[in-house]
Structures are given as C-alpha cells and as structure tokens.
Amino acid sequence: MDFEIKKIDEWRFLIPKTGAMRVPGLIFSSSELMPNIKDDQSLQQVVNVATLPGIVKHSLAMPDIHWGYGFPIGGVAAFNMEDGIISPGGVGYDINCGVRLLTTSLLANEIRPRIKELVSVLFKEIPTGVGSRGRIRLSRKEESEVAVQGASWAVKKGMGTKEDLERTEDQGAMKGADPSAVSDRAFKRGHDQLGTLGSGNHFLEIQVVDEIYDKKIASVFNLFEGQLTVLIHTGSRGFGHQICDDFLKEMGTKVKESGFNLPDRQLACAYIKSDMGKKYLSGMACAANYAWANRQIIMHWTIETFEKVLKISPSDLKMELLYDVCHNIAKLETHVVDGKKVALCVHRKGATRSLPPGHPDVPLVYRKVGQPVLIPGDMGTYSYVLAGSQKAMEESFGSTCHGAGRLLSRKQAIKMSKGRAIYREMEDKGIFVQSRGRTTLREEISEAYKDVSLVVETVHMAGLAKKVARFRPLGVIKG
C-alpha cells in the first residue's frame, strides 16, 4: 500500500488525503480486525473511491469491508447533487440485496423437535439455487408492475399486509422506478425468478433469540429470549444483476466523455444530473422494487409453511415482519454537512441504514427507539439486531455494517473445506442445513467470514448502532 493509515481512536482509522484523493478515507474498525482488512485490496478501493467527483466528507469503510467490484463491499460514499456521480459499482450487482426478520410467538425449545422437518419443507416450498425458477410466471406487463410497485404488488395479490409495508424500508417501493430504463434481457431474466432465494450467501434461517442486550428496545421490537424467529436474506436475482451489468457496460464506454480519469475501470459512473445518471437511478429503483417484492413473497410462503407443518393457526403463530432493510443501494437523501443540510446521493454497498430515534423515515412503531438494524452472520454463528443512532447520522451518513464480511474467497473456502462433511459439522452444532448447490456449504463455511461478534461490537462501540439482541441459527436453507 502506498498510502498511510493513522489510528484516530480505538474504533476509527484515517487514510489522509493524498494524490488524486478529494477527501480522506475513514475506516471503522478495531485493532483486532485491521490486519484482515489490510490483507486484501479493499483499502485501495477506499482510496480509489475518494478520487471520484463530488464526493463529500469521507470515503467510508465499515468493519466488514472486503474487496468488491469497483467499490469495496462494506463501503459508503456520498456525492453532492451538483457535480457528483452515481456508480453501479457503488451499489453492486445484486441491487437491494437485503434482509428481513420475522418474529413469532413461539418458544424455540418447544419447536426444536420439528426444526429438521421445517427445514425440509421450506427447502421444497421455496426455490433455491443458481438460476432457480419460482412458482410465479410474470408477463412483461406484470413484471413492469412489480418493478414500479415493489412489495405492494405482492400485498395486492394477497401475499402480505399493509403492516408489512409500513415495516419495510421505503415502504417496499423506491420512487422514480421507470421500466423503460430496463433492458429486454433483464426482463427476460426476471420473469420467472420472483419468489426465489438464489444462491451464494443468500439464505433463509430459523433462529432463536439467545441474548438480549437492551430490554427496552427489544420489547418495542417484540423480541424476547428463547423466541423463535426467521431471517430471510436475498435480493433482486438475475433481474438486478442484468441491470447492473447493462449500465456498467454503457457507462464504461462513455466515461471518457465525462472529462475525468478513473483509477479503476470498475468505477464506471455518470454524473447524477446527466441523462445516463438519471436513467441508472430509474433502472436501479426497478431492481430494488423487484427485490422487495421477492422478499415479501418468500415471507408469505414461509408463514404458510410454518402453519402447515406445525398445524398452527395464524393467531397462535403470530409470524410478523419486524423490519426489512436493504444493503446494496444508492439513495437521494438529505444530510447535515458542515452545519448545513445538503442533498446527497448516498451509495451503500454492503452497508445498511442506521437511522436514529425521531427520524421521519423510521416507522412510527419504532420511531422512539430508532430503526431496526439487521446484521446477519454466517450460517454457523450469530446474527444481530441493533438500533439506529444519531452518531451514525453525524459520522457515516446514517450507515453501518451489513454482516460479517468475507475473509476468504469462495475458491479459498472450497480448498480449505476439502474432505470435510459440512452438513455433519453443522448438525453436530445443532443446526440443520439443506442446500441446492454441491459446493455452496463449502463456500460458506464459518472460517470464510470474519467474526461477526467483533464486527458488531465495533459498530456498537463506535456508536454507529446500538446492540439490542443476538440470534443463534437452528436451521438453514441455502442455494
């Protein structure tokens, strides 16, 4: 690395502005996590992002940062609206990849003998894996409706309630979506993938609340120790992937016309106010809305499966949405910079919002305590719920980490796990797993990820979000 890293305090590190950097880099990390962060090229990507036109304040990195396409995964950057840019690499290929947490009235200990059966039936009912096809086949007209309406499309079809929309980021529909900005190829890829989980690190996980850190906030979030919950992690599938790919190619051919040099061609971008920038925002919103509809439908089928397997009524199950957050998105938001309110385009790639108590974008039911922040771990360790904070608004444009963050590439993980029976290892821990792909579990071994507890402790101590509860997996389905 040809740049300096200065320790500010126990939870923050600074890359001073040098060379073509327009702003410094700011890394939220602990001394324990920093050696792993320095091992890959993610900090160079933080420096690269700091050179982009219109960037404001800092190029930011969360403690789960690792190498990504153009922008690091775990990276946050805000750009002014006048001469700032929008970059598909700052959002990611899986637009609006996100998580939603479902609560129940059930005690995990009472359901434990049925976990294996629940996992097996969920695996049959919810399509998983690369290129998986769902039960829903959309016409082009219907697909356009999904792209504009988002989760409300599914609710109108009887797959959810208005309360679900109230507890979803952006009420499950990002404004400005325009299907005319989306290619025919993207629509073709998305027409049969609605209601599918996908592959890689996407999952549906049955969990138990095993520790409460803040009883007051946990009560508002309807969480209690020993409770059975479900976490769903997926995104916009092939539809969003193709939209990202289309715009990266188009922007890549035209970026020289913009009059600035890129340190990495993967940072292909356009000015926010340009026709191309506006078109990308419209296409990205379509993918974001598809993802919210996708998670809404999977949630509905999950509830149906629990009711069928457990032979339980909806009123006794009480499976409800706590919250749904996205962690691959760019949003037009207002933030205070140097004492003034400024309109910005905030890129969060592998990062999630962390809005404080009183913020108007926090659902009324949670507004007194702050936005629920959902941080999944790997399939063999913990996940967490935190609450948004004011300090995040001041230091990270209302952002925090989105997960544990990879340590090993998928190839490295496969090599490390050679000869191991991951299914059996998981079952020995009391976790039942089913996956579609032959190598999925080997790619997703716990050793492939940072310790999520250290990552969460860092954002908690740095003040970017407040720990509320911890969850332990009992059963997992993966692609």
pLDDT digits (tens, 9 = 90+) for 5-24: 999 999 999 999 999 999 99
- 389 residue type, one letter: S
- Rounded to whole angstroms, the Cα distance separating 353 from 360 reads 13
Q: Do you know the residue count of the chain?
A: 479
Could you report the per-residue pLDDT of 355-408, keeping only the tens digit for each?
999 999 999 999 999 999 999 998 889 999 999 999 999 999 999 999 998 888
- Rounded to whole angstroms, the Cα distance separating 109 from 45 reads 45
pLDDT at 278 exceeding the cut of 70: yes
Q: What is the mean pLDDT of the chain?
A: 95
- Rounded to whole angstroms, the Cα distance separating 370 from 220 reads 10
CA distances (Å), 426 to each of 399, 420, 453, 471, in order? 32, 11, 19, 16
Could you report the per-residue pLDDT of 42-75, keeping only the tens digit for each?
999 999 999 999 999 999 999 999 999 999 999 9
- Rounded to whole angstroms, the Cα distance separating 6 from 20 reads 19
Per-residue DSSP letter, 339: T
- Looking at residues 162-166, what average pLDDT do you find? 98
Residue 311, pLDDT score: 97
Contact 7, 37 (CB under 8 A): no
- Report the 10 Å Cβ neighbour count for 450: 24
DSSP sequence for 256-281: GGGT---SSGGG--EETTSHHHHHHH
- Rounded to whole angstroms, the Cα distance separating 120 from 9 reads 48
Please state the domain extents for the chain: 6-478
Taking Cα atoms as reference points, which of 376, 327, 351 lies closest to residue 476?
Answer: 376
- Looking at residues 294-304, what average pLDDT do you find? 98
Where do the H-state alpha helices sit in 194-255?
Answer: 215-220, 237-254
CA atoms in the 13 A half-sphere facing the CB of 117: 11
For residue 146, give the H/E element and its range: helix 140-149
Per-residue DSSP letter, 131: T
- Looking at residues 144-155, what average pLDDT do you find? 98
Q: Could you give phi then psi for residue 293, rounded to 5 degrees? A: -65, -40
CA distances (Å), 178 to each of 140, 239, 274, 296, 346, in order? 14, 14, 16, 21, 20
pLDDT at 1 exceeding the cut of 70: no
- Rounded to whole angstroms, the Cα distance separating 298 from 426 reads 24
Please, which residues have CB within 8 angstroms of residue 408's CB and are 6 or more apart in sequence? Answer: 416, 447, 448
pLDDT at 126 exceeding the cut of 80: yes
What end-to-end distance do the CA atoms of the chain give, in Å? Answer: 37
- Looking at residues 157-162, what average pLDDT do you find? 97
pLDDT at 351 exceeding the cut of 90: yes
For residue 34, give the H/E element and its range: helix 34-38
Contact 75, 264 (CB under 8 A): no
- Rounded to whole angstroms, the Cα distance separating 50 from 85 reads 12
Residue environment code for 3-31, b if the CB has 16+ CB neighbours within 10 A, otherwise e: bebeeeeebbbebebeeebebbbbbbbbe
Catalytic residues, which ones? 402
- Report the 10 Å Cβ neighbour count for 436: 17
For residue 103, give the H/E element and its range: strand 98-107
Residue 25, pLDDT score: 98
CA distances (Å), 203 to each of 148, 187, 367, 385, 471, in order? 25, 24, 29, 17, 15
Percent of the chain that is helix, strand, coil (3-state, to 5): 40, 25, 35
Taking Cα atoms as reference points, which of 87, 90, 17, 18 lies closest to residue 58?
Answer: 17
The CATH number that domain 6-478 falls under is 3.90.1860.10
Q: Helix, strand or coil for residue 73?
A: strand
- Looking at residues 183-211, what average pLDDT do you find? 95
- Rounded to whole angstroms, the Cα distance separating 100 from 264 reads 34
- Looking at residues 119-123, what average pLDDT do you find? 97
Could you report the per-residue pLDDT of 205-261, keeping only the tens digit for each?
999 999 999 999 999 999 999 999 999 999 999 999 999 999 999 999 887 777 778
Q: Helix, strand or coil for residue 186?
A: helix
